[in-house]
Amino acid sequence: MTQFWGVDADPTAQGRIKGARPVAVLDIGSNSVRLVVYERHARALTPLYNEKCSCALGRGMAKSGKLSNASMATALDAIRRFALVARMMRVGKVYVLATSAVRGASNRDEFVSQVEAVIDTSVRVLSGEEEAHFAAMGVVAGIPGFAGIVGDLGGGSLELSRISNGSDTNGESFELGVIRLQDDADGSPKQAASLIRQRLEGSILAAAAPGGRFAAIGGTWRSLAKLHQARTDYALHMVQDYVVPAADMLAFCDDIVAADSLKTYPGSNSVSASRRDLVPIGAAVLAEVLRAGNFGSVVFSALGVREGYLYSMLDQRERSIDPLIQGAEELSVLRSRSPAHANDLIMFTAQYLGIAGILELPSELRLRTVVCLLADIGWRSHPDYRGPQSVDAVAYGSLTGVDHPGRSFLAQTIAIRYEGPKSKAGQSVVALGTPELTARARLIGALFRVAYPMTAAMPGILLRTGFSIEAETLVLHLPADFAFLDGDHLRNRLRQFAEIAGHESSRVQVG
C-alpha cells in the first residue's frame, strides 16, 4: 500500500508560499533534541513545525565523560520520529547540529553514527567557537542592528560573542551549561554562582563597555524571561526582543537563586517540568554574567543557533533583506485581497505626510511600510471581529525584526483601520509603545480609513488621488472619472481623519 507521505499530489495548502520547499534543523543539545521545520530557507524564517524531546544528554557528563545509554536511547527514539515528520512534510534539506554534550563525549562517534543512520544525513558537531558564532548570527537575524554581547546558555555550555556591525568576534565557550552546573554544584544555585565567577574570569565580559546590551539565548533563559513577564504583568507574553533593565533582571535572578528550593521559587508552577529545576541555575548564570559585564540592559532572543546557522548560509544580498518587511510581504501575499494595493497605500500615506510637512525617521518609514503591507489581512473575518483578530495576528504573530514598541504601533494602527479612533482592540499593548508612536498610529490608521472606501482594496485608484492643504482645510482631490466616490461615507471618513490630523475642516474636490 502506498504510504501517505509518498502520494504524488502536493499536500500543501494555498495558505503556503507557492514553490517554497521546507528546510529543517535538527538540534541535538545537552538538554533536549529539537526539530524545527521552516516554510522555506529565506531571510524571514516561518516555522511550520517545532517540537522538542527532553533527553538530558549532558546529564552525568562531568563525571563519566560519556553519553549515557539511556539518554542516547531517548534521543534516538525522538530522532526516528523526527525523521518521519521530515519525510511527511517533504522537507528539502535537514541540517543536523550537535553541540556541547556530543562534542565533549568520549563515545560521540558511536552516537553520531547511529544518528546519521536514522536521519540519513551527516551530523555537524559544532565546536564551542562555532556554536558561539551561530548563536550570535541568530541574534543578528532576529534583532537587526543589535550591538553588544551575546550569550547562549545550553545544558552543557555557555557561549559568548561580541557583535558589532552585524559581525561577531571573540567567540568563547565555557562549561557553564545548566545541566553541567547542576551536576558540578550538587544542585545548589548559590554554589553554582561561585563556580560561574571562577570560570568567567578572563572572559570578554571583563572588557565590555559599561551600560552595554546583553542578548540572552537559550531555553532556560526564555523560561526566566517568561517568569519575569508574569511577575511584572507585562502586556505581551512574547520572549523575542523582550528588553529588561539589567538592574531589574539582576534583582529578579538573585531572588530566585536565594529561594530555598529548586522547585518552589516564585512562579515555579508555571515552568515546564523539564525546565523547573534548571531555572534557578540559569538565573545564577545570568546574574553573574550581568555583574561581570556591567550591562545596562538585557534583551532576550528566541532565535539562536538554528536560525543563525541558516542565516549564515544565505548570500550577502539575502542577508541584507529586512526580515520584518519580507515577513509582512509574505503575509500580504497570503492574506490580502490585493497585495499590489499595499504598494499604493504606501505611496498614498507618504503623499499626505509630505504635504503636511511630517518628517519620518527611517525607523518610522519602516513601520509605516510594514503596516501598509498588513492593512488588509483581516478581510475574511466577520466584520465585528476583524479588528481584534487582526490585532492578534500582528501583535502576537511570528514576525521577526520588530521590537515590542514596534508591535504596539502596528497593532494600534490596524485596530483603528478596522474599528476607528475609539477602537479598544489595540489597548492591551499601548503601554509597550510611546505617546509619539500612539499618535502616529492614530494618524496612519485614520488615513487608511479614508483610503479603503475609495478602493475596495483594489490597486490603481489611490495613485490618482492626492491631498492638499488650503488655509486650514484638508482637501482630497479626485479625478473627474472618480466623481462617484464623493459621497457621505468618504466625507465622514475624511472629516474624522482631518480632526485627528489637526485640520480645521475638510472637503473633497473633483476634477
DSSP H or E segment with residue 466: strand 466-470
Q: What pLDDT shows up at residue 204? A: 95
211 grid coordinates: 551600560
* Nearest CA among 465, 424, 449 for reference residue 501: 449
51 grid coordinates: 517540537
**At the topology level of CATH, where does 323-510 sit?**
Hypothetical protein af1432 (1.10.3210)
At residue 219, the 3 state secondary structure works out as: helix
Pair 374, 332: CB distance under 8 Å: yes
Domain 129-309 = CATH 3.30.420.150? yes
Spans of the chain, pLDDT less than 70: 1-14, 260-263, 274
Compute the distance between CA of residue 9 and CA of residue 341 in angstroms, rounded to an integer.
33
Write down the H helix ranges in 89-218: 100-103, 108-119, 128-142, 178-184, 189-199
Ramachandran assignment for 19, one of left (phi > 0), alpha (psi -120 to 50 degrees), beta (any other) = left
Q: Describe the crossing of helices 386-395 and 404-419 by its angle, rounded to 10 degrees.
A: 170
3-state helix vs strand vs coil in the chain, percent to 5: 50, 15, 35
At residue 135, the 3 state secondary structure works out as: helix
Pair 351, 464: CB distance under 8 Å: no
Pair 372, 414: CB distance under 8 Å: no
Identify any residues that bridge with 299 across adjacent strands, giving them in sequence order.
215, 243
11 grid coordinates: 499536500
Beta strands 32-38 and 23-28, pairing class: antiparallel
Would 4-125 and 129-309 be classified into the same CATH topology?
Answer: yes
138 grid coordinates: 541568530
Type of residue found at 24: A
* Phi, psi angle pair for 186, to nearest 5°: 55, 35
Type of residue found at 261: S
* Nearest CA among 401, 404, 405, 380 for reference residue 390: 380
At residue 489, the 3 state secondary structure works out as: helix
Compute the distance between CA of residue 59 and CA of residue 421 in angstroms, rounded to an integer.
56
Compute the distance between CA of residue 492 and CA of residue 502 in angstroms, rounded to an integer.
15
346 grid coordinates: 504606501
Spell out the SS3 assignment of 234-298.
Answer: CCCCCCCCEEEEHHHHHHHHHHHHCCCCCCCCCCHHHCCHHHHCCHHHHHHHHHHHHHHHCCCEE
Q: What pLDDT shows up at residue 1? A: 33
Beta strands 213-217 and 47-54, pairing class: unpaired
* Nearest CA among 263, 281, 308 for reference residue 224: 281
Compute the distance between CA of residue 390 and CA of residue 332 in angstroms, rounded to an integer.
12
Identify any residues that bridge with 478 across adjacent strands, giving them in sequence order.
510
* Phi, psi angle pair for 350, to nearest 5°: -65, -35
What contacts 202, CB < 8 A, 6 or more positions away?
none
| Domain residue ranges of the chain, discontinuous segments joined by + | 4-125, 129-309, 323-510
- Tally of residues, the chain: 511
Pair 44, 323: CB distance under 8 Å: yes
Pair 314, 244: CB distance under 8 Å: no
Compute the distance between CA of residue 100 and CA of residue 315 in angstroms, rounded to an integer.
28
Q: Describe the crossing of helices 362-374 and 435-455 by its angle, rounded to 10 degrees.
A: 40
Pair 34, 27: CB distance under 8 Å: yes
- Out of 3.30.420.40, 3.40.50.720, 3.20.20.140, 1.10.10.60, which CATH number does the structure's domain 4-125 have? 3.30.420.40
Q: Describe the crossing of helices 362-374 and 323-335 by its angle, rounded to 10 degrees.
A: 20
At residue 418, the 3 state secondary structure works out as: helix
Cell numbers 517545532 correspond to what residue? 50
Q: What pLDDT shows up at residue 218? A: 94
